[in-house]
């Protein structure tokens, strides 16, 4: 039996973010001995920090992997700002490194030789030093770390 995660808000998806948010509409099917899993989700987010939570097996990691480019959706579209990261119809699929997207893993996956600040800053190497420091401080403060 397949498990399906559905979170579709057509008003949000058909509307638009302010141009620097994230729009996701993806379907991903995973087949296993117990029947498998189908992720079918669509949403739009404004720019900022987003926390994804839900029960074990709901598809959180699968969704994040699709957004980050670590796993390919079967179909759909992922748009960050004005950049199309994935579009199954147009055959666009940017690599993980081209997406400049990351997430904090559920399991301990930080670089043990780096400080918390350096781990957060790791994916921001293309920013000017002062901008990188401001982003790191903002992220850590907003998460109360």
Q: Which residues contact 65 (CB under 8 A, 6 or more apart)?
A: 71
All structural domains of the chain, each given as residue ranges with its CATH number in brackets, are 3-101 (3.40.50.300), 110-145 (no CATH)
pLDDT truncated to tens, each residue of the chain (145 aa)? Answer: 333 444 433 333 334 445 678 999 999 998 888 788 899 999 999 887 777 888 888 898 899 999 999 999 999 999 999 999 999 999 999 999 898 877 766 666 678 888 888 888 887 888 899 999 999 998 888 877 7
pTM of the model: 0.66
Distance between CA atoms of residues 79 and 81, nearest Å: 6
- Provide Rg for the chain, Cα atoms: 16
Report the DSSP beta bridge partners of residue 4: 38
């Amino acid at each position: 039996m397949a498990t399906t995660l559905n979170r579709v808000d057509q008003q949000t998806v058909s509307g638009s973010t302010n141009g620097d948010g994230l729009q996701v509409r993806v379907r991903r099917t995973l087949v296993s001995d117990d029947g498998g899993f189908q992720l079918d989700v669509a949403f739009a987010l404004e720019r900022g920090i987003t926390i994804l939570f839900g029960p074990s097996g709901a598809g959180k990691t699968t969704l994040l992997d699709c957004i980050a480019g670590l796993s390919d959706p079967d179909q759909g579209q992922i748009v960050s700002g004005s950049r199309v990261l994935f579009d199954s119809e147009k055959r666009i699929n940017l690599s993980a490194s081209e997406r400049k997207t990351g997430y904090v893993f559920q399991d301990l996956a930080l670089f043990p030789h780096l400080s918390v600040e350096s781990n957060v800053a790791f994916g921001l190497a293309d920013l000017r030093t002062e901008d990188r420091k401001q982003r790191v401080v903002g992220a850590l403060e907003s998460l109360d770390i």
